Structure 1
């Protein structure tokens, strides 16, 4: 719904599949309600039903007004990004430092805070770079919907720098949504794919990002 209310439905911004000891589940970021909704495992009819998790995907250290925005499964852990909600709790409020990233297990237990504020600006897409990605090989890449920039982080969450264009300027992709490492049919496991909604999400864009030769 473009005009959601507490009773009128969710605003889902991200979705990922994950495995726990109980089976396979779908994890959806409900930006309107400020929670992770979990569905599954599928029954005999193939339908996923809403379930609860042991941990509940709770981070008591988050400031008020932030809600789950993006979600990614990296090496079996769930990386959840948080953006600031607008008054309607339908869209984000972009701005420097507007963002957090947490890591949970697939039963909803908080493992650690991965990143806070800093270079984050409505972070959404998260993936791990391939190990053939130049100086950021193997780093966790976090894409900011707010300014289109992509930050690289070490495994401990320390900031390692931003992706740059061939001229050494920060790479910025208007309306940056998701980041996905290739590896499926017809793609290279070293390719970094992105999807974006430029011009205030009126248009769509899909492409790849590669390190500069010799980097």
Structure 2
């Protein structure tokens, strides 16, 4: 029984013989091609030019059907979605295996695209209404855009706010914003002014009364 080294040596010898036969056939083919080229006066540039022209013609003839076939296949694969999850927005065309969010549903009509779209619009309207209620009705339809007139006033600092956007610090923490309304703040300021005037008048009257009393005492003493 031959050893592993003997088998490898035989394989190496056979491979060398195969390489020699291949090279011999290749050389014969090259000689034949060269003979034909000399007979017809051809060069390698001529062969390359012919091959290039053939490739371009083949691509031009086969490109249009290929593009049409790809477009048709893409249109077939683009099946519009039929169902949609109202919370996650996931869609399903209705073909193939149903996803988990609709597979166990007894009534799939509520996941139809029209139904899901209506639910989304309804939720959006509800959110807008809540936001407008929080901001005091700001954002109603027909309200003008651009700079808004002042709606709230800080009676201490005189700072104003239109009621749109984030509330300032002096109003954000207030439980009752009505007392900061322009009319309410003006009334508070008027009341404070009137109170100061009344207090000043009272002080002035008391001083005048004391002065008159002292004057009367002085007359009696005289």
TM-score when normalising by structure 2: 0.16
Structure with greater helix share of residues: 2
Larger Rg: 2
Structure with greater proportional strand content? 1
Identify which of structures 1 and 2 has the higher relative contact order when contacts are C-alpha pairs closer than 8 Å and 6+ apart: 1
